[in-house]
Structure 1
Amino acid sequence: MKKFLMGSLLVAGCASESESPFIDGFDPPAPKSDEMQIVAPAVRNVAPGTDITMCAYIDTRVDVDTDVIAYHGYQSVLGGHHVILYSVAQQQAANAHECTEDDMINARYIAGSGADSPPAELPPGVVFRIPANTQLMVQTHWINATDKPIDGQGAFNLKVTSPKPEHQTAQLFTVVDTLFEVPVGNGHKTSTECTVGQAMNVFTMGAHMHYWGTHASITHTPAGGAGKMIYDHGWTEEDVFDPPRNNYPTTAPFKLAAGDKIKIDCTYNNTTGAPLPFPAEMCVAWQYAYPLTQEINCTDGNWPR
């Protein structure tokens, strides 16, 4: 197995030293001296009308625990919807395939972005940790709305440092509605609510919808208390990749306790002429929170066991 050090270029695939690891038109910047770059293999010939999420397992490891303190994700623009970097517990030979539920149960969030997303910097003392000797997996989502096959690719530049005793490890916590279909027309609403299973400190909160979303709100209900809307935003196409965010300093994080409830409400205007099921459209509340060591996805009101 290959190992890497900070500042090295990680390339999945068979590119020679003289051959670019990137597809035509995709050229993320080289990593800086305190960064490392993760490059996913190209996704080839995504057929017209296809909506597909790919998981690429990379045959590369970090040899020591490595803390990510900032990152910038890159994805080729044509058809690109998101790119997410995970470390995985159950390792496998390097390969790329359409993602399954087993892939996501296996994953620990490291970084995430969209084709037009800005760079992200974590608050001082908060990190996403890559455990030593764990495999990396890059998930990419592609929606080909053209009439021709397309190629796509994703990459990350990660600013990293050695772990320190004062570092708080963060993870992604999502509240996801999958049991809906958006009919044609304006004003359809859907929502889901999650009862939180453990205490956490939230430092960033946002919503996620696709192109037909018009409004998203998030309500927090303390255990035994009254609900209060804490996120309330209209939605545009630009918000798909760069959504409005609530940011909280580590000196005053948004605290969630076991038994609290988080509810996401989404509104849509479906102009496609056909119903939009999940995942063509989405309704997600997402939070970056600490201290967590595993991604938590509360799907359709079900806290993971």
Structure 2
Amino acid sequence: MKRLAVLSTWIVLACGNSDGDANDSAADGDGSSSGGAGDAVDERVEVPTDGPGVLNFGGAEFVVQPGEDKMVCISVDYEGDDIAYKNAISLQGKGGHHVILLGAKKPQPAGTIEDCSDGADMSKYDLLMIPQELPDGYGTKLPAGRHMVIQSHYVNTTDKPILVRDFVQLETLAPADVKTWAAPIATNTIDLMVPAGKTAEAEFDCELTEDVELLMVGGHMHEWGTTFEIEMGPSVDALESLYLVDPWHADFRDVPPVTLFLENPKPLPKGTIIRTRCTWQNTEAEDLTFPHEMCSTFGILAGIQNPIECRIGE
């Protein structure tokens, strides 16, 4: 299995035109943390360079207080023409957990910052990207006028506030140069609970509604995970294990192993069952629920332009 670096962010405002001014103040509002940046440890990502074939989203600054575990969603708009991208790169400082570019079902003005830590907030958004470079000739579509949010998750385990500034970078190509379209898939459950000091298991199925080919698959849990398995097959009685991580290690939270089928894409016909199974050992004194623990399969499918998402527990 390959290790996939899922770098993360609290990203804000604008496409490719951030000036990176270090004097910008830390953001306030529903999604931001209180407190100034004066005593914060500087974990800001350098402003990436724009150029041909590169599209950058991001640029604002946030202060994350000691002990905070929070997801923030920031509204951004893509105002260019239809375009394709072959790679999505997440750029994030220390303390970052993940960053995901999501579609907005009910768009807010660009720059709007919302706390989206509650699992129920996920129903507001559509899946758009997974960080993985595609083979030559493959591309993922970013349509003109797409309203989006960048969902960023930080866990500050230090005793000092941290100042962050992050970016998502897309490596682009013209739609006419795409021979095979690809799009992400994610299955997840927000209906999970691991009792304090106990073990627990979650298992759920999702079904494909069209013929596709699998390019990549991986799993996502946090540091209390012990085993992660993904099975696929034509029925619940004919499942094949395609991904097994046993034991799961804490550092896989940010850099999970993935199984790649880039050289030989695996056909998945309509009706294929995708089963996700997670186990945990809660060593804490409190129960664990989403988003402090997670159970999610992610991957990339060829032969489709629109992302596929299966959510359990909404």
Range class of TM-score, shorter chain: 0.7 to 0.9
Question: Following the alignment from structure 2 to structure 1, what is the Cα–Cα distance between the partners of residues 20 and 289?
Answer: 42
Kept in 2, the 8 Å contact 1:48–1:149? The answer is yes
Change in Cα spacing, 1:258 to 1:276, as seen in structure 2 (3 Å) is same
Kept in 1, the 8 Å contact 2:88–2:129? The answer is no
Matched, 1:67 2:95: no
Deviation at 1:137, TM superposition (A): 2.4
Q: Give the share of equivalent positions with the same residue, in percent.
A: 25
Matched, 1:55 2:73: yes
Aligned residue runs from structure 1 range 146-225, under 5 A: 146-164=158-176, 166-185=178-197, 187-223=199-235
Aligned-partner SS, 1:170: strand
Which shows bigger deviation, 96-105 or 218-227?
Answer: 96-105
Question: Following the alignment from structure 1 to structure 2, what is the Cα–Cα distance between the partners of residues 88 and 166?
Answer: 25
Kept in 2, the 8 Å contact 1:72–1:156? The answer is yes
Q: What does residue 25 of structure 1 align with?
A: 43
Instruction: Report how many residues are paired.
Output: 282
String of CA shifts for 1:70-101, please: whole Å, max 9, x gaps.
232111212x1111123546433121112375
Kept in 2, the 8 Å contact 1:34–1:160? The answer is yes
Which shows bigger deviation, 176-185 or 93-102?
Answer: 93-102
Q: What does residue 16 of structure 2 align with?
A: 9
Question: 1:242 corresponds to which letter in structure 2?
Answer: V
- Cα RMSD over matched residues? 3.0
Question: Following the alignment from structure 2 to structure 1, what is the Cα–Cα distance between the partners of residues 180 and 127?
Answer: 15
Deviation at 1:27, TM superposition (A): 2.8
Q: What does residue 115 of structure 1 align with?
A: none
Deviation at 1:111, TM superposition (A): 4.4
Deviation at 1:21, TM superposition (A): 9.9
String of CA shifts for 1:237-289, please: whole Å, max 9, x gaps.
22112211111126x32222232211111122222222211221111111211
Question: 2:292 corresponds to which letter in structure 1?
Answer: A
Change in Cα spacing, 1:103 to 1:239, as seen in structure 2 (3 Å) is closer
Kept in 2, the 8 Å contact 1:68–1:110? The answer is no
Question: Following the alignment from structure 1 to structure 2, what is the Cα–Cα distance between the partners of residues 150 and 18?
Answer: 14
Kept in 2, the 8 Å contact 1:193–1:301? The answer is no
Aligned residue runs from structure 1 range 122-133, under 5 A: 122-133=134-145
Q: What does residue 39 of structure 1 align with?
A: 58
- TM-score of the two chains, using structure 2 as the length reference: 0.77
Change in Cα spacing, 1:224 to 1:72, as seen in structure 2 (3 Å) is closer
Q: Which has the higher strand share?
A: 1
Change in Cα spacing, 1:102 to 1:223, as seen in structure 2 (3 Å) is same
Deviation at 1:192, TM superposition (A): 1.4
Question: Following the alignment from structure 1 to structure 2, what is the Cα–Cα distance between the partners of residues 283 and 102?
Answer: 17
Matched, 1:236 2:249: yes
Q: What does residue 261 of structure 2 align with?
A: 248
Aligned-partner SS, 2:128: strand
Aligned-partner SS, 1:97: strand
Matched, 1:86 2:120: no
Aligned-partner SS, 1:164: helix
Which shows bigger deviation, 172-181 or 144-153?
Answer: 144-153
Q: What does residue 274 of structure 1 align with?
A: 286
Question: 1:9 corresponds to which letter in structure 2?
Answer: G
Deviation at 1:160, TM superposition (A): 0.8
Question: Following the alignment from structure 1 to structure 2, what is the Cα–Cα distance between the partners of residues 21 and 36?
Answer: 25
For structure 1, the residue ranges without an aligned partner over 5 or more in a row are: 113-119
Deviation at 1:218, TM superposition (A): 0.8
Question: 2:285 corresponds to which letter in structure 1?
Answer: G
Aligned-partner SS, 1:189: strand
String of CA shifts for 1:110-154, please: whole Å, max 9, x gaps.
344xxxxxxx31122221211112234211012233444444332
Aligned-partner SS, 1:287: strand
Kept in 2, the 8 Å contact 1:55–1:103? The answer is no
Deviation at 1:228, TM superposition (A): 1.6
For structure 2, the residue ranges without an aligned partner over 5 or more in a row are: 1-13, 27-36
- TM-score of the two chains, using structure 1 as the length reference: 0.79
Question: Following the alignment from structure 1 to structure 2, what is the Cα–Cα distance between the partners of residues 184 and 18?
Answer: 43
